[in-house]
């Protein structure tokens, strides 16, 4: 029977145990303690989990975009060789061959054909599973987009909305869109098209103009097609404003616009 150590001593012992820093005698002692006090297993497990989380502190990376499909391909190839689908016959045959017994040529032929059919089936399977994976990804994205549109439409149906029309300045004349002020939900919805994507470190910001002052409303970036659909909270000061501007700003947040005005809008309704 091992003496039960004091709690601090015990913690240190378990920590070193998990870190693999104990002598064989100390390991034996801990193992005995764990046997006589199984509740200590929980602490050992938590120390091990703590240690296992260490790599989360590493900087985020971007694995190659192709890695996922490579893994899925390898997995589906693997599937055709997995222990569950592996038939006993080929293994038996290999054993026979290695024992120096040749099987009948006539009998072997269909098996080769079967093998060929199997590998065709496997490659069809790879194609199908990649295809269904991509489809699945598309469905997930489409559903998210649909629910955003649904929310936006629900907002548009509310009473006493105000609408502002927005037009690009000479910098991006093709840009256009609308801003809807929804006082009942205290939000504003901004939708734009033909916006130019910005280089890294820059962002678009929306400002309400009231009494000659510009009030910050929110910031956004367009999608790769230059489209925007965003919702911002409605600031009380914004309720008075009858026009808005959109500027290009550095990413760090500033309380006032510093960059070029690329779109302007004024009240329609």
Partner 1 sequence: MMLSNQTDAKVFQALHSGNLLALGILYDRYGEVVYRTALRMLGNAQEAEDLTQEVFLALRRRGSYDSKRGSMLVFLLTLTRSKAIDRHRQIRAQWQRVQKWFRSIPPESGSTLMDKAALKEMSDRVREALSQLSSEQRKVLEMAYYDGLSQSEIARDLNMPLGTVKTYKRKGLLKLRELLQDLVEQRW
Q: Is 165 in the site for partner 1 (CB under 8 A)?
A: no
Q: Is 76 in the site for partner 1 (CB under 8 A)?
A: yes
CB of 2 or CB of 68, closer to partner 1: 68
Residue 199 falls in which region: left (phi positive, over 0), alpha (psi -120 to 50) or beta? beta
Distance of alpha carbon 168 from alpha carbon 192, whole angstroms: 10
Closest of 190, 192, 193, 185 to residue 155, by C-alpha:
185
- Quickly tell me which residue has 């302007």 as its tokens: 264
Distance of alpha carbon 19 from alpha carbon 190, whole angstroms: 54
Q: Which long-range contacts (CB under 8 A, 24 or more apart) does 152-160 make?
A: 152/189, 152/191, 152/229, 152/231, 155/180, 155/182, 155/185, 155/187, 155/189, 155/231, 156/180, 156/182, 156/189, 158/182, 158/184, 158/185, 159/184, 160/184
Identify the DSSP state of 129: H
Q: With beta carbons less than 8 A apart as the criterion, state whether 129 and 72 touch.
A: yes
Q: Is 57 in the site for partner 1 (CB under 8 A)?
A: yes
Q: Which residues in 18-37 contact partner 1 (CB under 8 A)?
A: 18-21
CB of 82 or CB of 225, closer to partner 1: 82
Q: With beta carbons less than 8 A apart as the criterion, state whether 178 and 164 touch.
A: yes
Q: Is 65 in the site for partner 1 (CB under 8 A)?
A: no
Q: Is 146 in the site for partner 1 (CB under 8 A)?
A: no
Q: Is 122 in the site for partner 1 (CB under 8 A)?
A: no
Q: Is 138 in the site for partner 1 (CB under 8 A)?
A: no
- Name the minimum Å distance from CB 84 to partner 1: 8
Q: Is 55 in the site for partner 1 (CB under 8 A)?
A: yes
Q: Is 141 in the site for partner 1 (CB under 8 A)?
A: no
Q: Is 133 in the site for partner 1 (CB under 8 A)?
A: yes
Query: Contacting partner 1 (CB under 8 A), which of 91, 108, 109, 136?
Result: 136
- Stretch in the footprint of partner 1 (CB under 8 A) among 42-50, 91-99, 174-182, 224-232: 42-50
- Stretch in the footprint of partner 1 (CB under 8 A) among 13-21, 102-110, 252-260, 261-269: 13-21
Q: With beta carbons less than 8 A apart as the criterion, state whether 90 and 80 touch.
A: no
Residues binding partner 1 (CB under 8 A): 11-12, 15-16, 18-21, 41-42, 44-64, 67-68, 70-72, 74-76, 78-79, 82, 129, 132-133, 136-137, 139-140
């Amino acid at each position: 029977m091992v003496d039960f150590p004091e709690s601090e001593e015990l913690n240190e012992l378990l920590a070193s145990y998990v870190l693999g820093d104990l002598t064989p005698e100390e390991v034996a002692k801990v193992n005995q303690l764990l046997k006589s006090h199984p509740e200590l297993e929980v602490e050992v497990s938590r120390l091990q989990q703590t240690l296992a989380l260490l790599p989360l502190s590493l900087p985020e990376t971007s694995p190659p975009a192709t890695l996922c499909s490579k893994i899925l391909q390898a997995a589906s190839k693997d599937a055709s060789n997995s222990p569950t689908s592996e038939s006993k016959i080929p293994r038996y045959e290999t054993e026979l061959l290695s024992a120096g017994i040749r099987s009948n040529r006539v009998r072997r032929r269909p098996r080769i054909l079967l093998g060929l059919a199997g590998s065709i089936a496997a490659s069809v399977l790879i194609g199908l599973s990649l295809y269904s994976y991509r489809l699945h990804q598309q469905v997930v994205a489409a559903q998210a987009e649909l629910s955003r549109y649904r929310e936006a439409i629900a907002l548009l149906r509310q009473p006493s909305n105000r609408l502002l029309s927005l037009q690009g300045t000479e910098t991006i004349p093709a840009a256009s869109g609308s801003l809807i002020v929804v006082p009942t939900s205290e939000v504003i919805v901004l939708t734009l098209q033909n916006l130019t994507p910005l280089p890294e470190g820059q962002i678009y910001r929306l400002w309400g103009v009231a009494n000659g002052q510009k009030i910050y409303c929110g910031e956004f970036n367009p999608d790769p097609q230059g489209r925007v659909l965003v919702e911002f909270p409605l600031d009380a000061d914004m309720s008075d404003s009858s026009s808005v501007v959109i500027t290009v700003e550095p990413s760090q947040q500033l309380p006032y616009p510093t960059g070029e005005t690329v779109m302007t809008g004024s009240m329609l309704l």
